[in-house]
Structure 1
Amino acid sequence: MRTVSAAETAPTTHPWVVHAEQLRVRAGRHLAVDGLDLALGNGVHGLLGPNGAGKTTLMRALATVVEPAGGRLTLLGESVDGRGDYRKVRRGLGYLPQQFGFYPRFTVREFVEYMAWLKEMPKTAVPGAVQRAIERVGLADRADARMKTLSGGMLRRAGIAQAIVNDPAVLLLDEPTVGLDPEQRLDFRELLRDFGVDSCVLVSTHLVEDVVAACTDVVMMNEGRLLFQGTPEALIAQGSEGDAGDSPAERGYSALLRRHRAEAAA
């Protein structure tokens, strides 16, 4: 019997978990992502930008829901170019869109189990993984309640549970805190930090303070292009007391947008 080396059993690593070069993605006829260059590794990355910046379209491309119209996109070392087999990539993804579908008569447990099955998780691993995911989002006491009976915040937490059930290497969350109360948002931030240790987490949100509190890296888009990438502290440093916003982070965000728009108009 051949001896298996440690290198053969070690987890696969990639220079960048997510890597985009001059990425272009359409939303209908509109080129919503236009020449984006982006590199993300493990950690929690907050995705900011005004409405229409291309955030949701980018998330959909990273989730392999829509195909790139041009440029290069690599996820977990696999090229995403519209021609490959995405099954391997999708097994390593977790995705919560802004609006997600579900069968109203499913219980929370059945819904998360169904999503685990779609992600081709090993059958023996599913029950334990489902229970852990439900507990991590604080829905253990509602695990056997039907989805149609849940409040808006509970539905959002069920959506987060299905996204994390497979312990994804890439976790994509589009406006995940909508409907969550302040206490739940604090718990969610802690969950993000835990996942960011071993996974690449990208969170799209309009809540700048959530990004500063939970993220190690800030990605800011406008008009389909990368406007800024850096630490929360670097974002804060972009602003001053005279800029619009109720917090240092919001002032940094608004200052970046103001300067970008002024340069575009010049």
Structure 2
Amino acid sequence: MQAIQADNLVVRVGGRKGRDAVNGLSLGLGRGVHGLLGPNGAGKTTLIRTLATVQSPTSGTLSLLGTPAGGKLRPVRRRLGYLPQHFGYYKRFKVREFVEYLAWLKEMPPALIPKAVREALERVGLSDRAEDRMKSLSGGMVRRVGIAQAIVNEPELLLLDEPTVGLDPAQRLRFRELVAELGREACVLISTHLVEDVAAACTDVVLVNEGSLVFQGSPADLATAGTASHVGDSPIERGYTALISAKSTGGAW
């Protein structure tokens, strides 16, 4: 079973006079770590929000963990983990309390929550900050708390929107190790602007532009799409540039 199955998916934003941020996208993703790449405005965040059941499809079909997106989503949401690009929190919450609260919202059995929270904080290296207030944390630490709440329920489908923003190089390396572990049992989709993170952490790359699927394949396949004449400091960056330039109606920046 594919964790994500989208067929001719359209998601309109901005009401009737808005635009199709996701435009006829067809995609199937199963277990593993998948990188979602694309320029600003490509539709990545809208797609992630739709997969997280925050936003509803306009047309087409979407199935999540075997359940149609138009069906009963509550059971699906218990099996999801989601880190938005920007997330809010009560500043006076302790780190532990915040992750516990999100575990409760995910309807985890109360008896399992304390242990699950401890393990999630340990996995992101924040065990020693569990009793600190959220307002006292650095930006990178807040991001790591966000990752902890996303994985606290051991999700079968994990959606991460720009998860490495604010992380230092050592933390990004640990993050790559963590998602590799998670991808052995779950479908992990990481939306990012950092091509090098995708090359290092992901077994599969999904490239979107102007709301449509441009490429899906391995990082090695993406690296072969470019030539020395394309912009980029590495083969995978040049492959990314080549595919985006070919698809973009406005030309490469």
TM-score calculated relative to the size of structure 1: 0.92
Does residue 1:21 correspond to 2:7, yes or no? Answer: yes
2:126 aligned with 1:143:
no
SS at match of 2:227: coil
Q: Pick the aligned partner of 2:62 from 68, 73, 78.
A: 73
Deviations 1:61-114 (A, max 9, x none): 000001000000000000002xx2211010010000000011110001000000
Alpha-carbon RMSD across the aligned residues, in angstroms, is 1.4
Counterpart Cα distance in 2 of 1:164 and 1:187: 15
Structure 2 SS opposite 1:177: coil
Q: Which runs of 5+ in 1 are unaligned?
A: 1-13
Residue 153 of structure 1 corresponds to 140
Query: What letter matches 1:234 in structure 2?
Result: D
Structure possessing the higher radius of gyration over alpha carbons: 1
Where do 1:49-128 residues align within 5 Å?
49-81=38-70, 84-128=71-115
2:154 to 162, 167, 175: 167
1:42 and 1:114 map into 2 onto residues whose CA distance is 28
Aligned to 1:218: 205
Runs in 1 of length 4+ with deviation above 6 angstroms?
none
TM-superposed deviation, 1:166: 0.2
- Find out whether 1:209 has 2:196 as its counterpart: yes
Q: Select the residue among 244, 247, 253 that pairs with 1:257.
A: 244
* Superposed displacement of residue 27, structure 1: 2.0
Other structure's SS at 1:67 match: coil
2:7 corresponds to which letter in structure 1? E
Preserved contact between residue 105 and residue 146 of structure 1 (Cα < 8 Å): yes
Q: Return 5+ residue gaps in structure 2 as ranges.
A: none
Contact 2:49 2:55 survives alignment (8 Å): yes
CA distance in 2, matches of 1:43, 1:26: 28
Question: CA–CA distance in 2 between the matches of 1:169 and 1:66?
Answer: 20
Displacement, 1:263?
A: 11
After TM superposition, give the deviation of residue 198 of structure 1 in Å: 0.4
What is the TM-score with the length of structure 2 in the denominator?
0.96
Query: Does the 8 Å contact 1:26/1:57 carry over to 2?
Result: no
Tell me how far 1:258 sits from its aligned partner. Answer: 1.6
Mapped to 2, the partners of 1:145 and 1:263 lie a distance apart of: 48
* Shift in Å, 1:122: 0.7
Residue 261 of structure 1: how far off its partner (Å): 3.0
Q: How many residues align?
A: 249
Aligned-pair identity (%): 64
CA contact (8 A) 2:209 2:248 kept: no
Contact 2:210 2:248 (8 Å CA) reproduced: no
- Distance in 2 separating the partners of 1:46 and 1:127: 31
Corresponding residue number in structure 2 for 1:4: none
Q: Secondary structure at the match of 1:255?
A: helix
